[in-house]
Structure 1
Amino acid sequence: MGIFDFLRSKGAKSAPPSGSAPAVDKKIAGPAKVVADKRAQTYDRLEAIQALVDLKTPEAAAALLKRFNFTIDPSITDAEEKDLAFRGIVAAGKDVVPAVIEFCTKAEALTWPLKVLGAVLDEDEYREELLDLLEGFDTEYARNVEPKIQIIQALEEIVHEDVRTAVERFFEDVNETVRFHAVQTTFAQAMPESVKPLIDMLVNEESVRVKNKAAEGLLVRGWAIPEDRRDAVADALGDTGGYTVGEGGKIVKRSLRFG
Structure 2
Amino acid sequence: MGLFDIFKKNSGKGDGEKKKPSSIAKWAEYAGSKRAQAYDRQEAIQELSKQGTAEAVEALLKRFTFQIDPSITDQEEKEAAFEGILKAGREAIEPVRAFAMKAESINSPLRVMKSILEEEELVDELLVWLSRWDTEYAKFIDPKLQLLEELGERKHPKIREAVEPFLEDASDPARFNAVVAVLAQQDERSLEPILKLLLDEESTRIRAKIANGLAELGWEIPDDQRDPVRKVLPPEFGIDGEGKIKKR
Pairwise same-fold verdict (TM > 0.5): yes
Q: Of residues 2, 11, 22 in structure 2, which corresponds to 1:26?
A: 22
Structure 2 runs not aligned, ≥5 long: none
Alpha-carbon distance between aligned partners in 2 of 1:141 and 1:235, rounded to the nearest angstrom: 28
Is contact 1:230-1:245 (8 Å) kept? yes
Deviation at 1:241, TM superposition (A): 5.4
Q: Which piece of structure 1 moves more, 78-87 or 209-218?
A: 78-87
1:57 aligns with 2:20: no
How far off its partner does 1:27 sit?
1.1
How far has the Cα of 1:150 moved from its partner? 1.1
Mapped pair 1:83 → 2:79: yes
The answer to whether 1:165 aligns with 2:150 is no
C-alpha distance in structure 2 between counterparts of 1:76 and 1:202, whole Å: 44
For residues 51 and 174 of structure 2, what CA distance do their matches in structure 1 show? Answer: 39
Cross-structure match for 1:107? 103
> Aligned residue for 1:247?
241
Would you say 1:35 and 2:19 are equivalent positions?
no
Question: Amino acid of the residue matched to residue 248 of structure 1?
Answer: E
When residues 247 and 45 of structure 1 are mapped into structure 2, their CA distance, relative to the original with a 3 A threshold, is farther
**Matched length:** 248
Pair 1:217–1:16, CA change in 2 (3 A): same
Percent identity over paired residues: 43
**One of 176, 181, 200 as aligned partner of 1:180:** 176
Distance 2:93 2:174 in 1: 26
Query: 1:65 Cα shift?
Result: 1.2
Aligned to 1:119: 115
**Distance verdict in 2 for CA 1:243–1:40, change over 3 Å:** farther
CA distances 1:69-97 after superposition (whole Å, capped 9, x unpaired) = 22333333222222211111111111221
Give the structure-2-normalised TM-score.
0.91
Change (3 A) 1:34 1:19: closer
The structural deviation recorded for 1:13 is 5.0
- Call closer, same or farther: CA 1:95–1:208 in 2, change over 3 Å: same
**Shift >4 Å, 4+ stretches:** 12-16
**Distance in 2, Cα, partners of 1:73 & 1:167:** 38
Please state how far the C-alpha of 1:162 moved relative to its aligned partner.
0.8
Unaligned stretches of 5+ residues in structure 1? 255-259
TM-score with structure 1 setting the length: 0.88
- SS of corresponding position for 1:244: strand
For residues 137-173 of structure 1, the C-alpha deviation after alignment (integer angstroms, 9 at most, x for no partner) is: 0011222111111111221232112101111111111
Residue 10 of structure 1: how far off its partner (Å): 4.5
Shift of 1:206: 1.3
Note the C-alpha offset of 1:42. 2.7
Q: SS state of the match for residue 102, structure 2?
A: coil
Q: 2:141 aligns with which of 138, 142, 145?
A: 145
Root-mean-square deviation (CA), in Å?
A: 2.0
- Matched letter for residue 236 of structure 2: G
